[in-house]
Structure 1
Amino acid sequence: MKKKILVIAISSICTSHLYAAAFDKTGQSVSAFLQSGNYFEASLGITDASLKGQEARTNSGNNPLPDIAHTDYRSTAALKLQINPQFSFGLLYDQPFGSDTEYSGNNNFVATPKDTVMLPGITTTRLANATGEQVPTGNSKSNFDIQNLSLILGYQPTKNWNFYAGTVYQTFKSEVELRGSIFSLYNGYDFHTKSVGDWGWLAGFAYQIPEKAIKASLTYRSEIEHKVKATENVPLVDMLASQQGRSLVDQHLDYMISIGQMSPQKKAALNYIVAELGKTDDQGTTQFKTPDSVNLEFQTGVRQGTLLFGNLRWVNWSELEFQPYRFGRVSEVVGTLSTPSRPEGFDLVRFYKDQWSANIGVGQRLSPKLFGSVSVGWDSGAGDKVSTGGPVKGYYNFGLGAQYSPAANYFISGGIKYFWLGDAKGQLGAQAGSDYYVADFKDNHSITYGLKIGYKF
């Protein structure tokens, strides 16, 4: 009985709320479903990150980028019912992926009335005045909110084996606003969606020897495809494509020719691009897939009152391509002007490598009602550069946890983890996969606090 209590304790002490691969947040553990008998738990994780950087490389400025991270609040809940000795049912809720950032201060990620539009001498103010529209204002920001509800059915042919599978309902909601001269024609771009839901699945198996506190599980989660109808605004493109905007550009190009800074051939090419931008105003469906993943979780008794635990996780981030519909159509036009040239278009968010992460720790009984743990972790990140996706390339972490159990059937636990966040280079979508970048993020860190309650009934 004491070893069973220890297994419950150690699996609950350390918060699993992470800051991994920019978007990966919870680790998607199924440990709650693998508890014996009927079980319920709920948790809350709070992450305070310091994500500061500097304009760099192809960014014309050299200004600091103040902390762009908002405090992240992330909750999970689980209910597991043992229907009979052979069958169990579980509901797992978590918020596995997400991002919430905002640029501020005096830098090229914040809109100003003097921002250039396509050509030197044409500012957002001048274009807005010519077309009777509004000048883009505000900060660049992005918020991605993804939530999962997993419904799992397990089959236990013996006390040692557990085979399980189920469906996953996933919701997606996002708001992205690009501001500042660094985004060129996308200065003022908005991508707003309502919450949409789609289905995926999971499957796995677990092996345990309860009397030795040994447990291991392997779980696969499928990718989930979303199709969303978003509200997309590209105000500078709409201004340029208007009659007044085309006239302003044509007059300005004539002026540049008159002072020897433009050739007639170049003028014709730019006028053609402006005309093509006017054909990108259709609204369509944005399609993308959240990544599939594999989790290996394990624990084993070392001696009486001591447990070794850990996990290994793989996430298929290299397949993520997030290209909003109109964003993509515009990108096919402006990609011809980018460095390097990208006439095929580019993505709003893109990662370049799969994510690998690992955590290992030791838990110790300190008294009949108190348990403690210490853990270390590593995350590979998803590539050296992140295209409009987040200024983090992996991490190392160190965690401490404690649990108090007033009785054998319930507990409250808390944990804290400190993350040394990996340096990353921020790219624009048009620069994806190249050596060009616009920002450096170095020497950043994060602290996550977690609180969990659990009850066996």
Structure 2
Amino acid sequence: MKNVMTAGAALLLTTSIASAGGIDRTGNPYSVLFEDGNYAQLSFSSVMPEVSGDYPATFGGGSTDNMAESYLSFGAAVKYAVTSDLDVALFITQPYGADASYEAGAYTGLAAEWNSTQLSVLGKFKAAEGVSLYGGLSIVQSDAEITIPAALASAAAGAPTPEYTAQASSDVQVGYVVGAAYERPEIALRVALTYESGVTHEFDTEEAVGGATQLESETEIQLPQAVTLDFQSGIAEDTLLFGSIRWAEWSVWEVRPAFYEGATGDRVTGIDDDVVTYRAGLGRRINDDLSVFGRITFEDGTGGVASRLAPTDGTTSFGVGGSYTMNDVEFTGGVEYALLGDATDSAGVEFTDNSAIAVGLTVGYNF
């Protein structure tokens, strides 16, 4: 059932804007630790969101047009079997990100970008028959910038104000990962519980109004801790049930540059609630080389006021794909369609009937 088990993880890198308002992009990639022998993997995904809203009459009506930009993501991993009981692995991912830009109506010029790269080094130790423990360190690098046009900056400050910009230079922080798993290979059963610590970035931030620097200071932004329960089990010959439940403490994430908060008494953006994401799917092996799979992902909405930079609330997505093995190389491709939950921001702009399409390709090699 190896092909089916590999296929079960294939779409992990293809869902993006569907998670935590578009900030949480890759989820948990650590299943590579459970591949047999030595293993290397490359993953690519392209995400094409369509997120637009309707302005209220007080803002002149009309549409915001699409404010969520398409983007590409990349991931890589390599795992080496040191002994029969000890494995080590290296992961490179782009776990968090935002690409928002308004080009129509009252919000024209409002834009934000968040980039991140994470390097993780983990080890897995077989503690007893069927039981393994794993853990290691993660190094997270992020940078960000935001632009608020004059009309919105004036509304936030309560007085006529030129365009506001804030640029957070690159910052690197270190977190950790710990987990445990139970396996019964004869029925393709695996249950794994993983804890990922949060980190707090300390960005050197330059804030400017009308192009003139107002303040250079340090802005602290927390990235969430998370707990993920992954599971899989054979339920019939050549058929695998798989899924996960992931809790992430996104309520700690907010952006409060010092000058902006002093002028407005508010934050630039943030997420008010923690996020729980549920995934479930089925994989089916067609023959020794080919398997197919399908997956459903659900993230409940909170009903709170939406951020203008991430104006969705919850998601339901559907993914399908297949995996083909040629010699020692496995090619896995998938496509996922996400229905993004309706949301309303503090100005009464209503974002409804939005969606995202993601396609992904993973190439794995046993050596």
TM-score under structure 2 normalisation? 0.93
Higher normalized helix content (fraction of residues)? 1
SS of 1:346's partner is coil
When residues 14 and 352 of structure 1 are mapped into structure 2, their CA distance, relative to the original with a 3 A threshold, is: closer
CA separation of 1:205 and 1:383: change in aligned 2, threshold 3 A: farther
Q: Contact between 1:48 and 1:71, CA under 8 Å: does it hold in 2?
A: yes
**2: CA distance between counterparts of 1:282 and 1:18?**
33
Q: 1:354 to 1:297 in 2, by over 3 A?
A: same
1:42-441 paired onto structure 2 within 5 Å? 42-56=42-56, 59-105=58-104, 107-110=105-108, 139-184=109-154, 185=157, 187-235=162-210, 281-331=214-264, 345-381=265-301, 383-407=303-327, 409-427=328-346, 437-441=347-351
CA distance in 1, matches of 2:275, 2:301: 5
1:450 Cα deviation (Å)? 0.5
Separation of aligned partners in 2, 1:231 and 1:353:
28
Q: CA deviation at 1:15?
A: 4.7
2:80 partner amino acid = L
Asked if structure 2 preserves the Cα contact closer than 8 Å seen for 1:305 and 1:365, the reply is yes
Q: Is the 8 A contact 2:15 2:336 kept in 1?
A: no
Give the distance between the partners of 2:241 and 2:31, measured in 1 at CA: 15
Which amino acid in structure 2 is aligned with residue 156 of structure 1?
Answer: K
Matches of 1:148 and 1:305, distance apart in 2 = 35
Map 1:435-450 onto structure 2 (within 5 A).
Answer: 437-450=347-360
CA distance in 2, matches of 1:402, 1:66: 34
The percent of aligned pairs where both chains have the same amino acid is 26
Alignment check: 8 A CA contact 2:41 2:78 kept: yes
Q: Distance in 1 between matches of 2:245 and 2:9?
A: 15
Q: Secondary structure at the match of 1:193?
A: strand
Partner Cα separation in structure 1 for residue 150 and residue 62 of structure 2: 13
Q: Distance in 2 between matches of 1:209 and 1:84?
A: 20
1:33 alignment partner AA: L
Equivalent pair of 1:99/1:142 in contact (CA under 8 Å): yes
Query: Rg: which structure is higher?
Result: 1
| Greater shift in the superposed pair: 303-312 or 158-167 | 158-167
Structure 2: distance between partners of 1:383 and 1:28 = 26
The 8 Å contact of residues 4 and 210 in structure 1, kept in 2 or not, is answered as: no
CA shift for structure 1 position 102: 0.6
Q: Matched residue of 2:2: which SS?
A: helix
Give the match's secondary structure for 2:4.
Answer: helix
Report the Cα offset of residue 9 of structure 1.
3.6
Q: Give the residue type in structure 1 aligned to 2:60.
A: G
The CA distance in 1 between the partners of 2:7 and 2:47, in whole Å, is 23
- 2:190–2:231 Cα contact (<8 Å) kept: yes
Q: Secondary structure at the match of 2:94?
A: strand
The secondary structure found in structure 1 opposite 2:261 is helix
Q: Which runs of 5+ in 1 are unaligned?
A: 111-138, 239-279, 332-344, 428-436
1:43-83 residue CA offsets vs partner (Å, 9 max, x unmatched): 111111111111238x5332310111111211111111111
4+ residue runs of structure 1 moved beyond 6 angstroms?
none
3-state SS of the aligned residue for 1:194? strand
Distance in structure 2 (CA, Å) of the matches to 1:369 and 1:45 = 23
Q: Which amino acid aligns with 2:6?
A: I
Q: CA offset at residue 301 of structure 1?
A: 0.6
Whole-angstrom CA distance in 1 between matches of 2:306 and 2:255: 12
CA contact (8 A) 1:365 1:371 kept: yes
- The Cα offsets for residues 103-154 of structure 1, whole Å up to 9 and x where unpaired, read as 012x1112xxxxxxxxxxxxxxxxxxxxxxxxxxxx2111011221111122
Say if 1:14 and 1:373, in contact at 8 Å, map to a contact too: no
Q: 1:12 aligns with which of 5, 10, 13?
A: 10
Query: How far 1:180 moved relative to its partner?
Result: 4.4
Deviation at 1:406, TM superposition (A): 1.4
The structural deviation recorded for 1:360 is 0.5
* Residue equivalent to 1:454: 364
Counterparts in 2 of 1:187 and 1:99: CA distance versus 1, 3 Å = farther
Task: Quote the Cα distance in structure 2 between the aligned partners of 1:160 and 1:358.
Answer: 25
1:224-272 Cα deviation digits (max 9, x unpaired)? 0111112210239x7xxxxxxxxxxxxxxxxxxxxxxxxxxxxxxxxxx
How many residues are treated as equivalent by the alignment? 360
* Cα root mean square deviation, aligned: 1.9
1:98 Cα shift? 0.9
C-alpha change, 1:281 and 1:102, in structure 2 (3 Å) is closer
The answer (yes or no) to whether the contact 1:315–1:355 under 8 Å persists in 2 is yes
Q: SS in structure 2 opposite 1:31?
A: helix
